[in-house]
Amino acid sequence: MTSFQRQHKIRFAECDYAGIMYYPRYFDAVNATVEDWFDEALGVSFKKLIGDRRLGAPLVGIETKFVRPCRLGDMIIFDLSVARLGESSAALDMKTLMDGDIRMRSRMTIVCVDVDMNGSAPWPDDIRDKMLSYQKTAGKGESK
């Protein structure tokens, strides 16, 4: 299993008065990481997915734990892997790391939807095949 990683420098605009990354900005960065994953690793940008293929991948659920704060100027890594891949859904695990320490952990569910029919659709084979290379192997604390 491999994970998709994106480096991110925490900027002033992402921080609260105390210089700690404000939690809504984590979600902006998480979404940007998922979008980059589709574009760079899965081979289909959101522009092509939505515009050309008429499919979407909206977030339908998320559970997040903020373990330790990140601060202005910190260089963090968003680390994405697939916990479970269904016919039309995917459970994604996202960790925020700094110097090897976990700062934030999320489990999110995205669903493939047909934009025109406004309902779920199976993942296309080309996307599904690439998602599988990011799927965790079953083991302690991990789900199939």
Residue 81 banded pLDDT, cuts 50, 70, 90: very high
Give the residues across from 9 on adjacent strands. Answer: 75
Domains (range + CATH), the chain: 4-132 (3.10.129.10)
Phi, psi of 64 (to 5 degrees): -130, 140
Residue 138 banded pLDDT, cuts 50, 70, 90: low
3-state secondary structure of 42: coil
What pLDDT is attached to residue 126? 97
**Does residue 137 carry a pLDDT above 90?**
no
Percent of the chain with pLDDT over 70: 94
Q: Are 78 and 21 in contact (CB under 8 A)?
A: no
pTM: 0.90
Alpha helices of 1-144 — where are they, by DSSP H? 23-36, 46-47, 125-132
Q: What is the mean pLDDT of the chain?
A: 94
